Structure 1
């Protein structure tokens, strides 16, 4: 039997003690396990952090979102109306904040063409012009006495000239009439709901005011509304 040299024994001993190399498969498998552990920890953190939000806070956040959406919708509401009459155009600023329900009704009727062909059937100089159903008996019938004696009215007025309103009396959509004041009128708010103000076309209002009328304040010549358009800007 051949004897192994001491030098060869030393080399064999070193080879046995040397660590074995890690295979690529092991590295990939280890990396995948680490990734899965990190992903699981991250998912668990997101889940529990979301559950930690109190219901009151969720309601509050939802309310803020709804409010922003509501404000966005409110900005879409037209702020102006242009009344095209046979005498010219009258531009009106709508008081959405002061009379929201009336403004909404007015806008809806404009979109339906309710005011097309409507006539100014009562004109009281230095008082008011009224457009609507020529066969209706509106509040203007009750104002004629004041209209005749406007110069004697109380100077501490509660109503301004060139305001747009409609009657407070119960009505259906067909009874929605338009009133434009031509002078400051005391206590007019008791009879009509003001929902706008003339900002352009005051001279057109005054021209309508100056037409000849009969004893019942009905214009002798026809003055009508051609159309009413809604605008966001003027």
Structure 2
């Protein structure tokens, strides 16, 4: 193998690795690549797009959930919300001009060292759909293909085309983008994986039937 080709292969490996780790999210449990049957949005009785109200200590965010485009992902989000899984979690990673990330149960305490590696205890497959990674969309954070759990992110960049097709988009902000903007602008510690210096807490997530 010539040196030029070897350098290109190494470069590609580095780029792919960076994309996989871009959200600092690693699965800290055995990946089962399945989801409980009762978590499908269809089995939960929804025919249209459900709405969710995420109450944070920096304001409310109203989300439209894309039941048709990502039925299993939406079902999982509804199930976890109803179980109050997200209550008390924090937005543990914030990158201005890019996204705000939350949904990790490990973030409920003041130990930042394990924030970003928690989940619900299972993983499930991607539901890649035509929706693009653009400002205001709600998407699943992951550690690679089919490693979805509970962590999500809301996009604050105008677009992030390099992530299209790599993350399941399952909703969008319909009200409360001002709250998202406020969260995006909090002070962060870059040496701690862009963790907010002050807690940004999800107080509750309510599904609007």
Fold shared by both chains (TM-score > 0.5): yes
**Which consecutive residues of structure 2, in runs of 5 or more, have no partner in the other structure?**
1-41, 108-113, 118-131
1:37-186 map, 5 Å: 73-75=45-47, 79-133=50-104, 134=107, 135-137=114-116, 158-169=132-143, 170-171=146-147, 175-183=149-157, 184-186=159-161
- 1:171–1:114 Cα change, 3 Å: farther
In structure 2, distance between residues paired with 1:99 and 1:80: 14
In structure 1, distance between residues paired with 2:54 and 2:63: 8
Segments ≥4 residues shifted beyond 3 Å = 168-172
Q: Deviation of residue 159 (structure 1)? A: 2.3
Q: Deviation of residue 198 (structure 1)? A: 0.1
Q: Which has the larger radius of gyration?
A: 1
In structure 2, distance between residues paired with 1:171 and 1:112: 21
**Which consecutive residues of structure 1, in runs of 5 or more, have no partner in the other structure?**
1-69, 139-157
Q: Which residue of 2 is the match for residue 224 of structure 1? A: 201
RMSD: 2.4
Which structure is higher in helix share? Answer: 1
Q: Deviation of residue 178 (structure 1)? A: 1.8
Contact 2:55 2:205 in 1 (8 A): yes
Q: Which residue of 2 is the match for residue 203 of structure 1? A: 178
Aligned residues: 141
Contact 1:167 1:191 in 2 (8 A): no
Q: Which residue of 1 is the match for residue 187 of structure 2? A: 212
